[in-house]
Amino acid sequence: MISVGIDVSKGKSTVCILKPGGEVVAPPYEMLHTVESVLALVKRIKSFTEETRVILEDTGHYHWSVVKVLSENGVFVTSVNALRMKRYCSQDIRGAKTDRKDAIRIASYGLTYWSELTHVLPSSDTYRELRLLSRQYQRKTVLSASEKVNFSNLLDRVMPGLPSVLRDNRDRNRLYGFASRYCHYEQIVGMGEKKFMMDFCKWAKKQGYRPYERLAKELFTIAQTGIPALPSSPTANTAIKEAVRLIQEIEDSRKIILTQMIALAKTLPEFSAVREMNCLGDALTAGIIAEIGDITRFHSKHALIAYAGIDVPPYQSGTFNATERHISKRGNRYLRKVGYQVIQSIIMHKPQNDPVYEFIEKKRSEGKTGKEAMIAGLNKFLRIYYGKISEVYDSIDLQLLFGSRV
């Protein structure tokens, strides 16, 4: 057997080829992430008469281009969890770290755990594109939340108490539009009550809001009685306008990305089956499919749960068995995040005869905390998801099998 260890970095990799007993077939050398360079490695691997396997460390997205070319050319490739590889490499007493040494250690890992290595197939283009959109959407969501906090802090300094008068959970654009138009209480008071009321009603009607004179009067009153922490100035006005502009740009971007996500997810066979699950709208359906990806990659429901990082590893030593254990959190944190959103939706809607909701309630009745019950619920959801979507693909395989016999 021959182990090919590849230490992947941005744009290039370091390759080392070993045989059992530490015999060096090829000392560490640099390989660029170009088709020509990777195909040269493929040619070298295919020249070997012994079984050869390629081992890479999971490096986010840098390794996928290499995996893609190797897999398409019939080479056995496996990707090892970064934490597991780090622990293996830490056994080196000296602890020295270079790309060359890492490539040697990765190749050595392949020989040590040869029987445990599993072939990794690259996801289809649809799943990769869907995940790309999902990650961008989640980043935009985090950025949106951050900018909304920034806007709220600014508003407290120039228009304290305004959200309590203009609160509308269904349409926060009214608050953003008002703040961007008037910027500061001093500007409202400076207009005078009559002029402000006329201007506000005209603006509200143009924006499609009902122009309440009573609301206009209430807004003028709070402007008179409120005490801004900052005086009206071009700087304060710019800060408010730019905060609103940035929030609206991010929200527009989120809508565009989400629309593309849903459209792409609908092209996959499992979309309808996932969408039929309780409390999942189009957005959550697209998000959960994006982060789980191709269900056929997982050999069991336990593998999917471990991938999500909500498995609870055993801890035992001698006669001691730990009873209070925690989830590993070593899997896909984006999947955990979307998964928790799914569970929150289920808890909020309280669907009748839903196995996930009933399981969450059962855990709560047993004295589990809200967070523990949610984790248990997500575990249950993923088990059901695995079974349901596996059936979809099993059905497709049967159709292809019998179709080929016709």
| Choice among 16-25, 31-40, 102-111, 164-173 with the minimum mean pLDDT | 164-173
List, in order, residues 6 or more apart from 73 with CB less than 8 Å away.
39, 42
CATH architecture of 127-263: Orthogonal Bundle (1.10)
Q: What residue type is 142 in one-letter code?
A: V
Residue with tokens 């840098």: 62
The model scores a pTM over 0.75: no
User: Of 218, 173, 160, nearest to 193 (Cα)?
Assistant: 218
Percent of the residues in the chain that have a pLDDT greater than 70, as a whole number: 87
Quickly state the pLDDT bin for 218 (edges 50, 70, 90). Answer: very high
- In this predicted structure, the answer to whether residue 294 has a pLDDT above a threshold of 90 is no
For the cut 50, the answer to whether the pLDDT of residue 180 exceeds it is yes
Question: What is the pairing mode between strands 316-317 and 76-80?
Answer: unpaired
Distance between CA atoms of 181 and 355, rounded to whole angstroms?
Answer: 50
Tell me the three state secondary structure of residue 15.
strand
Q: Give span(s): CATH 3.30.420.40, the chain.
A: 2-122
For residue range 236-275, list pLDDT tens digits in order: 999 999 999 999 999 999 999 999 999 999 998 899 999 9
Q: Where is pLDDT greater, at 235 or 126?
A: 235
d(CA 80, CA 120): 10
The pLDDT of 138-156, averaged and rounded, is: 94
Sequence ranges of the chain with CATH classification 1.10.287: 127-263
Contact of 332 with 397, CB cutoff 8 Å: no
Q: Residue 325: which pLDDT band, with cuts at 50, 70 and 90? A: very low
CA distances from residue 355 to 278, 301, 358, 367 in whole angstroms, order as listed: 10, 16, 5, 19
Express as a percent the part of the chain with pLDDT over 90. 49
As to burial, measured by CB atoms within 10 angstroms (0-12 exposed, 13-18 middle, 19+ buried), residue 33 is: middle
Mean pLDDT of 189-193: 94
**pLDDT for the residue numbered 125:** 75
Q: What is the pLDDT of residue 373?
A: 92
Question: What is the Rg, in whole angstroms, of the alpha carbon atoms belonging to the chain?
Answer: 28
pLDDT value for 165: 86
Residues 6 or more apart whose CB falls under 8 angstroms from that of 100 comprise 14, 16, 28
| pLDDT value of residue 168 | 64
Residue 315: its pLDDT value, please?
41
Distance of CA 63 to the CA centre of its chain: 19
CA distances to 168, 184, 228, 290 from 157, in Å: 21, 9, 5, 41
Which stretch of 84-88, 111-115, 193-197, 242-246 has the lowest confidence by average pLDDT? 84-88
pLDDT band at 8 (very low <50, low <70, confident <90, very high): confident
The DSSP secondary structure of 192-260, one letter per residue, reads -HHHHHHHHHHHHHHTTS---HHHHHHHHHHHHH---SS---HHHHHHHHHHHHHHHHHHHHHHHHHHH
Q: Residue 220, Cβ neighbours under 10 Å: how many?
A: 21
**pLDDT category of residue 79 using cuts at 50, 70 and 90:** confident
Structure tokens at 234: 């071009």
Find the angle CA(76)-CA(79)-CA(85) to the nearest 5 degrees.
Answer: 130
Q: Do the Cβ atoms of 183 and 240 come closer than 8 Å?
A: yes
Buried b (16+ CB within 10 A) or exposed e, 307-331: bbbbbeeeeeeeeeeeeeeebeebb
Structure-token match 């496996």, residue found? 78
Walk across the sheet containing 12-19 and list its strands.
23-32, 12-19, 2-9, 52-57, 76-80
**Rounded to a whole number, what is the distance in angstroms from the first to the last CA of the chain?**
42
Grouping H, G, I as helix, E, B as strand and the rest as coil, residue 167 is coil
Among 34, 33, 25, 81, residue whose Cα is nearest residue 53: 25
CATH class in words for 2-122: alpha beta
Q: What average pLDDT does the chain have?
A: 85
Q: Cα dist. 1→7, 71, 74, 251 in Å?
A: 20, 19, 17, 54
